[in-house]
C-alpha cells in the first residue's frame, strides 16, 4: 500500500535535506546531494554524499542517512526526500534503491527534489519494481 505524505511535511524534509546537502564531502565531483529519511519513530535522519579518491568507495547521501538510522536501531521508515545541486529531480542510484529495499516498503514515498525547491513524488516500488526479497531466497 502506498503511504501519503503531506505538502507541509515535504517542505520540512526539503529544508532539512538542503541543510544536509551543504555537509557533502565532494572534492572530486563537486556535486552535492542531501537526503532526509523519516523513520516510523518520527525521527529524521540526514545524510550527504561522502566521496573517496577511489571513486567506487563513495557513499551516497541516501545510504549515509539510512546507515545512520539503522545504526541507531531504526528498522521502519515512512518517507525519503532527496535533493542535489541539479535543476533536475534527483533520483536514488540503483545501489541505494537496493539498500533501501532491505528496510522500506515498496509503497514508501520517495520525494525527488531539485535545487529550485520543486519536487516529484514517487515510491520505492516505482524505482525498484520486482525487488529481490527474502521470499526469493526460499529453496523449498
Ligand atoms: N550521488 C548520491 O549521493 N546519491 C545518488 O543517488 C546519486 C549519486 C552522489 C555520489 C557522488 O558523490 C555524486 O553524487 C556523483 O555521482
Closest residue CA from atom 13 of ligand 1 = 31
- Answer for the pair 65, 46: CB distance below 8 angstroms, yes or no: yes
Cell numbers for 24? 557533502
Burial class (CB within 10 angstroms; exposed 0-12, middle 13-18, buried 19+) of 80: buried
Q: Is the CB of 74 under 6 A from ligand 1?
A: no
Report the predicted TM-score, pTM, of the whole model to 2 decimal places.
0.96
The CA-CA-CA angle for residues 81, 59, 103, to 5°, reads: 55
Mapping DSSP to helix (H, G, I), strand (E, B) and coil, where does residue 8 land? helix
Using the atom order of ligand 1, give the atom closest to the CA of residue 93.
Answer: 6
Say which of 51, 62, 74, 118 is annotated catalytic.
Answer: 62
For the chain, how many residues are written? 140
How remote is the CA of residue 31 from the centroid of ligand 1, in Å?
7
- Answer for the pair 112, 86: CB distance below 8 angstroms, yes or no: no
Alpha helices, DSSP H, located in 22-55? none
Share of the chain above pLDDT 70, in %: 100
Q: Is the CB of 50 under 6 A from ligand 1?
A: no
Query: Model confidence over 44-100: pLDDT tens digits?
Result: 999 999 999 999 999 999 999 999 999 999 999 999 999 999 999 999 999 999 999
Does 62 qualify as catalytic in the annotation? Answer: yes
Amino acid at each position: 500500500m502506498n503511504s501519503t505524505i503531506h505538502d507541509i511535511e515535504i517542505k520540512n524534509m526539503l529544508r532539512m535535506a538542503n541543510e544536509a546537502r551543504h555537509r557533502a564531502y565532494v572534492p572530486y565531483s563537486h556535486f552535492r546531494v542531501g537526503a532526509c529519511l523519516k523513520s516510523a519513530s518520527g525521527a529524521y535522519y540526514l545524510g550527504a554524499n561522502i566521496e573517496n579518491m577511489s571513486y567506487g568507495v563513495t557513499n551516497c547521501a541516501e545510504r549515509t542517512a539510512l546507515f545512520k538510522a539503522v545504526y541507531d536501531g531504526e528498522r521502519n521508515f515512512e518517507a525519503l526526500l532527496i535533493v542535489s545541486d541539479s535543476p533536475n529531480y534527483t533520483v536514488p542510484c540503483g545501489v541505494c534503491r537496493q539498500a533501501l529495499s532491505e528496510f522500506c516498503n515498496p509503497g514508501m514515498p520517495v520525494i525527488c527534489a531539485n535545487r529550485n525547491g520543486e519536487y516529484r513524488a514517487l515510491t520505492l516500488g516505482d524505482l525498484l519494481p520486482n525487488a529481490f526479497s527474502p521470499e526469493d531466497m526460499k529453496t523449498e
